[in-house]
Amino acid sequence: MRVTKKEKRRIIEDFKKHVSSGKVATFRKYGMQFIMGDRSGPYITDITGEKTLINCHCNGGVFNLGHRNPQVIEALINGTQTFDIGNHHLISIQRARLAKKIAGLMPGDLDYAVFGVSGGEAVDLAIKLARGYTGRHKIISIKGGYHGHTGFALATGDEQYRAPFGPNLPGFVQVPFKDIQAAQEAIDEQTAAFIIETVPATLGIAIPDTQYMKALRQLTQDKGALLIIDEVQTGFGRTGRLWGFEHFDILPDIVVLGKGLSGGIYPMTATVFRRPLEDFFRKNPFIHVSTFGGSELGAEVALKVLEISSDPAFLEHVNQMADLFASLIPPLIEKHKHYLDSFRQLGLMMGLVFNNEKYGVLFSKAAYDVGMLSIYANNDQRISQLLPPLIIEEKHVHEIIEKIDLAVSRLKYYSAIYTVADFIRRLLP
Ligand SMILES: Cc1ncc(COP(=O)(O)O)c(C=O)c1O
């Protein structure tokens, strides 16, 4: 899709007048007035055709299979021959197929799934279920974690996202990440659930260790509380395993899926839960409804996504690309040690750690200017998230490495023209 520069200016004006004047002002200020036009595989091109970016943001995993994946599009088109959204109250062939497929790919008795249209909605439902099932109200999350901007999901998050909306909901408590003692002190007989991302992305691709994850599992179990694992970003092969939590040898009570389940084409999320928890919905089958959740057409797409992502050859490919990054990044860190501190990685869930917040934030702009979309982590801005599509090939890995090299080389220049205060209003959430 292409338009002239004049038409692009008109689109920006319409967006400013009818969608968000603040976003237009922010992107104008930083010279990042990119409008997605053509898109394919790992690339997105500005609507004028003038600039192409390799996508290492991928909306946090929405584009795991690349942009406009042909197999996913084919599934969508085929699905339109038969399906529409369906009726969310009735028994559905598609929701039965999709839930059964997910159950078959999950360990243990994670046999049930209820579908939604956003990750926040799926997290909200996980919390409703935890409270409804246990009859308790306390929900513990980690500081700097992120589970969405909707009701209960927002209540689990940091104050900066909640502050304009008044006091937080009662019962929500945060503890520091990887602090077993703090978790132990917080989890008690009033606790309905502890919720955590497998790899907290907004906290800067913060990778937990097995001891911590196992401790959370044990502590919750000991107190009769549930463990909710948010796999919205880490699911579908991102970490080199189909589900990120598989790295830590734990069985959660509830798993939240989102983003990648859409194939980048049709919104679909799921709250997956263990068999005993279904007791709550058996008694209250209409306690939670979502008109578009579990669209029958969308299920066709999601089934294709699961088929592709669970293929052992696909996961093997993710691990090969991850190994290539693991070998190519350390020399870059050595070369740019004034700016770069370290590298965080679990499969293709990666983060570049800079020596300070300023460089982490400026890198987003420098990367954009050299043709790469990589956004800093809002809750630890020293880190730039590196989430390429999982379908990238060796040549793309080399291209990304070259762009990182170039962008970091320019940080001195960017430091001179932008102050940290410029970025305090935050480029992107
Ligand atoms: C880990 C995690 N959980 C939940 C969400 C919320 O998903 P959504 O934006 O689809 O509501 C996000 C979104 O970025 C996320 O990264």
Range of the domain at 95: 70-309
Among protein residues, the one with the nearest Cα to ligand 1's atom 3 is: 147
Q: Does 189 fall in a domain?
A: yes
Per-residue pLDDT of the chain (429 residues; tens, 9 = 90+): 899 999 999 999 999 999 999 999 999 988 999 999 999 999 999 999 999 999 999 999 999 999 999 999 999 999 999 999 999 999 999 999 999 999 999 999 999 999 999 999 999 999 999 999 999 999 999 999 999 999 999 999 999 999 999 999 999 999 999 999 999 999 999 999 999 999 999 999 999 999 999 999 999 999 999 999 999 999 999 999 999 999 999 999 999 999 999 999 999 999 999 999 999 999 999 999 999 999 999 999 999 999 999 999 999 999 999 999 999 999 999 999 999 999 999 999 999 999 999 999 999 999 999 999 999 999 999 999 999 999 999 999 999 999 999 999 999 888 887 765 565 555 544
Kindly state whether residue 32 falls inside one of the protein's structural domains: no
The verdict on residue 15 lying in a domain is no
Query: Of all atoms in ligand 1, which is nearest to the CA of residue 202?
Result: 16
Minimal-distance CA residue to ligand 1 atom 4: 147
User: Domains in the chain: how many in total?
Assistant: 1
Flag whether 337 is in a domain: no
Residue 58 alpha carbon to ligand 1 centre in Å: 13
Query: Does 234 map to a domain?
Result: yes
119 C-alpha vs ligand 1 centroid, how far in Å?
5
Three-state SS letters, the chain: CCCCHHHHHHHHHHHHHHCCHHHHHHHHHCCCCCCEEEEEECEEEECCCCCEEEECCHHHCCCCCCECCHHHHHHHHHHHCCCCCCCCCCCCHHHHHHHHHHHHHCCCCCCEEEEECCHHHHHHHHHHHHHHHHCCCEEEEECCCCCCCCHHHHHHCCHHHHHHHCCCCCCEEEECCCCHHHHHHHCCCCEEEEEEECCCCCCCCCCCCHHHHHHHHHHHHHCCCEEEEECCCCCCCCCCCCCHHHHHCCCCCEEEECHHHHCCCCCCEEEEECHHHHHHHHHCCCCCCCCCCCCHHHHHHHHHHHHHHCCHHHHHHHHHHHHHHHHHHHHHHHHCCCCEEEEEEECCEEEEEECCHHHHHHHHHHHHHCCEECCECCCCCCEEEECCCCCCCHHHHHHHHHHHHHHHHCHHHHHHHCCHHHHCCCCCC
Whether 23 is covered by a domain: the verdict is no
- Which residue CA neighbors atom 8 of ligand 1 most closely? 119
Any ligand 1 atom below 6 A from CB of 260: no
Q: Determine if ligand 1 sits within 6 Å of the CB of residue 98.
A: no
Instruction: Kindly state if the Cβ of 194 falls inside 6 Å of ligand 1.
Output: no
- Going from the Cα of 268 to the center of ligand 1, the distance in angstroms, rounded, reads 12
197 within ligand 1 shell (Cβ under 6 A): yes
CATH number of the domain where residue 78 is located: 3.40.640.10
Asked whether residue 314 is domain-assigned, the answer is no
Q: Which atom of ligand 1 is nearest to the CA of 259?
A: 10
Residue 121: inside a domain, yes or no?
A: yes
